[in-house]
Amino acid sequence: MYNDTKYSWLPLDDTFICFFMCCSFYADFGPLNLAMLYRYCCRVNMKLKSFTMSRKKLVHHTSYDQKKRANAALLISAYAVIYLKRSPEEAYSTLISGNNPGYLPFRDAAVGECFFNLTLLDCLQGIRKALQHGFLDFESFDVEEYEHYEVRAHRHNNPVLKCA
């Protein structure tokens, strides 16, 4: 991480996005999984609570690669929905304001032509819905368990419903 007296830099390509992009099946990419989002949120929260950050601005940055931009945009806007209580539309509109180019839609792992594009706004609306219904709670999220079931050896067997 690059730091100076005014800014603390949070480069995403080397830590979050590059790792995930190496794990594609075919032409798919993103959105980043919940473990990646959780780790990103923890890192941002840690930096924001740090005494050394008290007078600094946190700079979240990535390259111009369209896939990396889309995943980086997901991280920061999901953080805004989860922790800053922004609506998905507010978080998304901040990203597309000004002269910023749009974001590439996420793509599934199907071979061949993609028939459904998952947009950044779709993901943010899903996160809000999961928060509203208690399916997403980073206070009790077990990242190690999630990652255990996320790997191919366990057939991506993530639980969907909470059990009593």
Q: For the chain, which domains are there?
A: 7-136 (3.90.190.10)
Res. 69: pLDDT tops 60: yes
Find out whether 76 and 125 touch, Cβ atoms under 8 Å: no
More confident residue, 3 or 4: 4
Query: CA 81 to CA 66: how far, in whole Å?
Result: 22
Residue from 4, 5, 9, 6 nearest 59 by CA:
9
Q: What angle do CA 41, 45, 48 make, to 5 degrees?
A: 140
| HSE-CB for 146 with a 13 A CA cutoff | 16
pLDDT confidence of residue 121 = 97
Q: How far is the CA of 98 from the CAs of 70, 101, 102, in angstroms?
A: 17, 9, 11
How much is the average pLDDT of 38-55? 86
Residue with tokens 């219904």: 133
Look up the pTM and report it.
0.83
Q: Which residues pair with 63 in a beta bridge?
A: none
